[in-house]
Chain A
Amino acid sequence: MQIAIIRAGTGPGRGRAAGAASVARVKRTYLDAGGRAPLHPAGLAAQAAAFDDGWADPRRLHAEGRRARMLLDAAREVLAEGLACRPEEVHLGPSHTVALQHGLLGIARGRRRAGSSVVLSAVERAALHAGAQLVAERHGSWTRPARPGHDKDEEAPARPGPVPVDRLGRVDVAAWRAAVGLPGVALAVLQHANGEVGTVQPLAAAYDATQSAGVPLLVDAGSSVGHQEIPPAWDAVVADAGDWGAPTPLGVLAVRTRVRMAPDWPEDEDRWFPGGVSVPAALGAAAALRATLADREEADLHRRRLVGRLRDEVAHRVPDVDVVGDPEDRLPHVVTFSCLYVDGEALVTELDRRGFAVGSGSACTSSSLEPSHVLAAMGALTHGNVRVTLPREVPEAEVDRFADELPEAVAQVRRALGVQGL
């Protein structure tokens, strides 16, 4: 069998779609960079070079293996610099999701004698909510064995539910402080910023609370590293290389050496991510991060200005729209809004037809039928939702074109649903 790749546009992942002919005729504007940004050229170049020098298995003892090991160590150093931590604290996994899972499960197992509850905000990623549940199931029954004469159910401390957020999506710090202070908490999990709505969390205050309670804090920085400086308010942090334009997805887990952690999976030479990662992928991710951080402030100013303008334009030009997330304390590149009386899938499809790639948290767009738990926790409208995540070098004119076409796209979807004069 032959595998042929036909490339359209100017380069891999540079915002040009290689797809159906009908799509290729329209000018494409990629506004869905969250978690999968257009590939950074510096990362591509480094990864290509690493395929020549670092293809071997870094665990082997011969010259080729040692060369791969050196390159992997160099990548780890660069990533550690980007996260402002030490290289030995950095572990590389195959994806952001796996890095989150292993950080959560590993710390929970290391802390199993302290308890089996995971405190997390209501707006964390679904993988973390599922992980918290798994920890409770795995370690819940035998960490607190019933003593003779005591009913086990009565003895088990109340398990804290997800910590609520306000209308802007910001975690309630008082409720957070109370939750992490409960008995039986293994660890706490909080995002640095919410990738779905852009709101930045009060990380310093949350970390102060977990430190006072003696509970380790795992921070999900998957939507912020590369875009927003992260304060050193964490015991473990997870970053997503795909979010800063690494050529191959990669999860980065950094854990302070003081944190007690134990694998919750079979032992392996690569303790935290059995099997290790591809060395060229690690080099690509590291080079892309370094290049991204080198001109981050400039790129952020550009995008922050466009985001501010787009939020205003959407609010003024689209009737019956709910622009969500904190207007000020937010990621520089995310704009999210929900339109009343609109099917989110229909709106994404209509915008796609007009050349715009956007994301959505509406239930109508997923097979699960469950609406976005983030929007629901904020009390925001879950249907008709659109998430715009600007890539770093998005031209101003394309964002303006989006603002110009959006009102008509929304009106068209509303007409199709027979919504008039509501």
Chain B
Amino acid sequence: MIVLDARGLRCPLPVIRLASLARDSSPGDEVLVRWTDPAAEHDIPAWARMRGHTVLETTPPRPLPDDPLPHGAGPDAPAHQASGSTLVRLGDR
């Protein structure tokens, strides 16, 4: 499984990062996207539907105070912003 850390990125960047990763991966690969932007919760499934991928699981945001953001995760994210995740299985498109 590939993990994509999109925490701190504002819409539409999480979906753009996911799409570039999908382009360079193989059908059947599973990607776990972690995000803080609330739009990602809805937009990743919408992207998957439009592009023939499958969402396996969505975990809604919850605060993770002991989970610091990685370097380079973007300037907009407060340190304790609630983060969620979405697990996607890539299709063959």
Residues of A in contact with B (beta carbons under 8 Å apart):
320, 322, 338, 340-343, 362-364, 369-371, 375-376, 379-384, 417, 419, 421-422
Contact = CB atoms under 8 A, between A and B. Distances in A.
Contacts of B41: 376
A422 to B, nearest CB: 4
Interface of B: 10-13, 15-16, 19-20, 23, 37-39, 41-43, 45-47, 49-50
Given A343-B12, A370-B38, A382 B19 contact: no
Contacts of A371: 11, 38-39, 42-43
B11 A341 contact: no
B15 A341 contact: yes
A363 B46 contact: no
B50 A381 contact: yes
23 contacts: A322-B50, A340-B15, A340-B47, A340-B50, A363-B37, A364-B12, A364-B39, A369-B10, A369-B37, A371-B39, A379-B42, A379-B45, A379-B46, A380-B46, A381-B42, A381-B46, A382-B46, A383-B12, A383-B15, A383-B39, A419-B16, A421-B23, A422-B16
Given A322-B50, A340-B47, A369-B37, A382 B42 contact: yes
A363 B15 contact: no
B42 to A, nearest CB: 4
Given A379-B42, A383-B15, 7 more contacts: A340-B50, A341-B19, A376-B42, A379-B46, A381-B46, A382-B11, A422-B19
Contacts of A384: 12
A422 B23 contact: yes
A384 B10 CA distance: 12
Given A369-B37, A383-B43, A422-B20, A362 B11 contact: yes
Nearest to A324: B46
B82 to A, nearest CB: 12
Contacts of A364: 10-12, 39
Contact of B16 (A341, A363, A376, A382): A341
A26 to B, nearest CB: 27
Contacts of A419: 16, 19
A164 to B, nearest CB: 14
A376 B38 CA distance: 10
Given A370-B38, A371-B42, A379 B11 contact: no
Interface centre among A320, A322, A381 (most CB of B within 10 A): A381
Contacts of B47: 340, 381
Contacts of B23: 421-422
Contacts of B19: 340-341, 419, 422
The 3 A-B residue pairs whose C-beta atoms are closest, nearest first, are: A381-B46, A383-B12, A371-B39
Contact of A381 (B20, B37, B38, B43): B43
Nearest to B46: A381
Nearest to B39: A371
Contacts of A380: 42, 46
